[in-house]
Chain A
Amino acid sequence: MYNFEYHKPTSVADAAALLAKADDAKLMAGGMTLLPTLKQRLAQPSDVIDLGGIAGLAGIRKEGNALVVGAMTTHAAVAHSAEVKATIPALAHLAGMIGDPQVRHRGTIGGSIANNDPAADYPGALVALGATVTTNKRTIAADQFFTGLFETALDAGEIVQSVSFPVPEKAAYTKFRNPASRYAIVGSFVAKGPSGVRVAITGAGPTVFRWKEAEAALAGSFTPAAVEKLTAPSSGLNSDIHASAEYRAHLVGVMTKRAVAAAG
Chain B
Amino acid sequence: MASTVTMTVNGKSVTGAVEARTLLVHFLRETLGLTGTHVGCDTSQCGACVVHVDGKSVKSCTILAVQCAGADVMTIEGLAKDGTLHPMQEAFRDNHGLQCGFCTPGMVMSAVDLAKHNPAPSEQEVREWLEGNLCRCTGYHNIVKSVIAGAKAMQG
Binding site for B on A (CB under 8 A): 1-6, 8, 31-32, 35-36, 38-39, 48, 50, 52, 76, 99-103, 105-106, 180-182
Contact = CB atoms under 8 A, between A and B. Distances in A.
B107 to A, nearest CB: 12
A39 B129 contact: no
7 contacts: A6-B20, A35-B44, A99-B132, A101-B129, A105-B56, A105-B57, A106-B63
- The range of chain B's interface size is 20 to 34
Nearest to A96: B128
A3 to B, nearest CB: 5
Interface of B: 1, 19-21, 23, 42-45, 47, 50, 56-59, 62-64, 66-67, 69, 110, 113-114, 129, 131-133
Given A32-B44, A102-B132, 14 more contacts: A3-B20, A5-B1, A6-B66, A8-B66, A35-B23, A35-B62, A35-B63, A35-B64, A38-B21, A39-B42, A50-B67, A100-B132, A102-B58, A180-B45
Contacts of B64: 6, 31, 35
B112 to A, nearest CB: 12
Contacts of B113: 101
State the main secondary structure of chain B at its contact with A. Answer: mixed
A193 B45 CA distance: 37
A106 B114 CA distance: 16
Contact of A39 (B43, B45, B132): B43
Contacts of B50: 102
State the main secondary structure of chain A at its contact with B. Answer: mixed
Contacts of A76: 56
Contact of B131 (A2, A4, A36, A100): A100
B152 to A, nearest CB: 20
Contacts of A48: 20
Contacts of A6: 20, 64, 66
A158 B57 CA distance: 31
Contact of B62 (A2, A36, A52): A36
Contacts of B42: 39
A31 B21 contact: no
A131 to B, nearest CB: 27
A186 to B, nearest CB: 19
A31 B67 contact: yes
Contacts of A50: 66-67
Nearest to A74: B56
A101 B57 contact: yes
A105 B43 contact: no
Contacts of A182: 131
Contacts of A4: 20-21
B132 A101 contact: yes
